[in-house]
A and B are shown apart, each in its own frame.
Chain A
């Protein structure tokens, strides 16, 4: 039985590797809470390589301009059309920021216009329950970035299923720490990451 391999997508235009510890942290959480077969380490795959299609859940983040090359755009479309999913997080957590502006433009161009994901969407109940929608991050609560607590995530749907999940809540900062440090937290803040993975693997 093949195992789930967490994949960070590398795109040419920006700092795709701005949250290097996040993948391992989420892998740790998946192993910690679920029986899903998961690879012990993550991979980084260029979005322009056809190999990206072997990873139906792709995580993308960054602070800098987010623009796909033609090859990246073509692969991204294929991945979504065949049933894959992107999780794109704005590491700037700033709606006026470069990443947010360029990412929304690129998402619209590549996949279609994203819409607000209702906070009662099955994503928020796929494993852990988040009755109020996406959990707020400490960066939002501390007033960094755009000084806003974003109430909703955005999504591009492929039929009834989320094809592209876009967040400007900065989970990339929130989850970017060594998993050993989880022992210092009273509540694991990566639980929503588990929901995203379980959703991608079951819908």
Chain B
């Protein structure tokens, strides 16, 4: 190989080595920059741009610095620097247009080649070493999952003062996925102390770092954390009213209180018929109407007819349902026609009607909602003559109806004989009827507004049955009509008074029939002569043992002690105090809701480093209960 060719070859080698060095150094610097940003907790896209820019600039600088490589003379000089004994022979050979024999013979290429190679290798090796070191630093930096996870954990445990272990539970993300049927949106919260969601929701709990070492439990039941080197996650389902999720890693721990709100059963109100009815004959055709509503949606519903036949000790029941009604919304309406003929209802039967709806809860349901029951009772043919029912005094409504019928007859008679009477006589008789009519009006008023009735039953509790007329529209209609009738009769216009009198009679009749006839029978009232029979029994009872019925530690006592502890540790370890308060809140949710609400507010305020004293004051007042029941006496020191 000629010296010229040798220089050319070295030039090529130098270019390659320089490019390799430049790339290695630039890459090394880029990685070091990224690692430094991660260590400084500044790892973001901007830092990445800066790092790449730094590498590129360095590469450019190295390229600019190596621009001399384009000159063979400079390459030859570079070799001459390695071997000063060449005395510019190589430069001369490189600059010559043709090989110079003397020089070719004096300089042996074989001796130069190893020196050049060694130098190139040393330079490149240094660059690659830099790249290697930079790569390692980058790998163990928090910029990579390895660095965030295992390496940091090991380093953190080995050199806790130098490398703080990553706080895998310091920043938690909670995704709440409500059940599909609820059609609620998924929500995500950062670092919640507590959250409230629909029972059946799935909770995805996420935190930084690998799942290794992360311990998550729900009410002391451990859950397995999964995930990647970057992120651990745990999934759980809300199936209890209150759950306490505890996530811990090394000496760090976090509590999240999850309240599961159960899906409420649907509500259904039977709007027609409005009240129970008693019928003389088993003939009835009427409309049924019900309104249904649910917090998430009703799917279907129907009317249920329970027909009970029999008497005495023998009763048979059969249940029939109406055609189903389908819904796909939060509310629904059920309409049906009730026909006793279709249901084969006979005399003495009792038909109980109610509406039943189901919601769209496909998880724990469907929940069923039922309306109040309306009862249609068909009187037996012999009922009114039956000796099994003791005749009670006619109720006030009945006597009113009877009197009204009589007054109508009197008024009709007065109208008929009007021409035979003098004006004075006519006015007086009309006024007499008006007085009687007004008495009925007052009687009806008393019934509507539950005034005491002298004709009513004597037993205070039994008297309850007489106030069924409250809000009875029939009685109200009767009352209004009676007013009209009284006014007309007072001004001696009995003919005008008759229509409202008849309206009043019909309304009173309806009100009377609306009463449950079989309840009219009063049970025989047996009064025991207690003093006479006292301790006359032949057999003797014996003593028994009672056991304590309540926990020795009352809830309030537990809450008071726990609250005092949390307050005492507040100054030393705020996080521990918050956790203690969160657990107390769980205990209080059912039995002391006011305390629980105050504690929730206090926790939120403490988390955001705001003044929680007002919330503490409310919490302690909630525990104290009704403290001023007995005013503390200055004269009596007490125990």
Contact = CB atoms under 8 A, between A and B. Distances in A.
Direct contact of A and B (CB under 8 A): yes
A144 B313 CA distance: 9
Contact of B525 (A41, A97, A173): A41
A68 B25 CA distance: 86
B504 to A, nearest CB: 28
Given A13-B373, A67-B373, A179-B526, A98 B308 contact: yes
Interface string A138-174: 0000001000000000000001110000000000010
Contacts of A178: 526
Contacts of B528: 24, 27-28, 31, 40-41, 179
Given A20-B524, A126-B544, A33 B539 contact: yes
A38 B526 CA distance: 14
Contact of B542 (A51, A99, A101, A129): A129
B527 interface: yes
A24 B461 CA distance: 16
A70 B373 CA distance: 10
A157 to B, nearest CB: 11
A13 B375 CA distance: 7
Given A161-B549, A178-B526, A127 B544 contact: yes
Contact of B306 (A29, A31, A65, A91): A65
Given A44-B462, A51-B461, A97 B544 contact: no
Interface residues of A, number: 59
B529 interface: yes
Interface string B342-355: 00000000101010
B530 A40 contact: yes
A49 interface: yes
Interface string A41-55: 101111001010000
A28 B533 contact: yes
Contacts of A13: 352, 373, 375
Contacts of B542: 125, 127-129
A182 to B, nearest CB: 9
A101 B375 CA distance: 17
A27 B530 contact: yes
Most buried by B among A109, A127, A173: A127
A64 B461 contact: no
A98 B315 contact: yes
A64 B533 contact: no
B464 interface: yes
B219 interface: no
Given A29-B537, A32-B534, A33-B535, A122 B529 contact: no
Contact of A69 (B372, B461, B540, B544): B372
Interface in B29-48: none
A203 B549 contact: yes
Given A64-B308, A127-B541, A32 B533 contact: yes
A198 B477 CA distance: 50
Most buried by B among A15, A35, A64: A64
B526 A41 contact: yes
A99 B306 CA distance: 11
Most buried by B among A51, A65, A97: A65
Nearest to B275: A12
A17 B518 CA distance: 10
A45 B464 contact: yes
A34 B545 CA distance: 17
A159 B554 CA distance: 13
Contact of A64 (B315, B534, B538, B546): B315
A32 B550 contact: no
Interface of B: 276, 306, 308, 310, 313, 315, 317, 350, 352, 354, 370, 372-373, 375, 459-462, 464-465, 518-519, 523-530, 533-542, 544-547, 549-550
19 contacts: A12-B373, A21-B526, A24-B527, A44-B461, A45-B464, A49-B464, A63-B310, A63-B313, A64-B315, A64-B350, A65-B306, A69-B372, A69-B373, A98-B317, A122-B546, A126-B544, A179-B528, A188-B537, A194-B541
Given A27-B530, A97-B317, 11 more contacts: A13-B352, A31-B530, A31-B533, A31-B535, A33-B535, A40-B529, A43-B459, A67-B354, A67-B373, A187-B539, A188-B538
Interface of A: 10, 12-13, 15, 17, 20-21, 24, 27-29, 31-35, 38, 40-41, 43-46, 49, 51, 63-65, 67, 69-70, 91-92, 97-99, 101-102, 109, 122, 125-129, 144, 159-161, 173, 178-179, 187-188, 191, 194, 198, 202-203
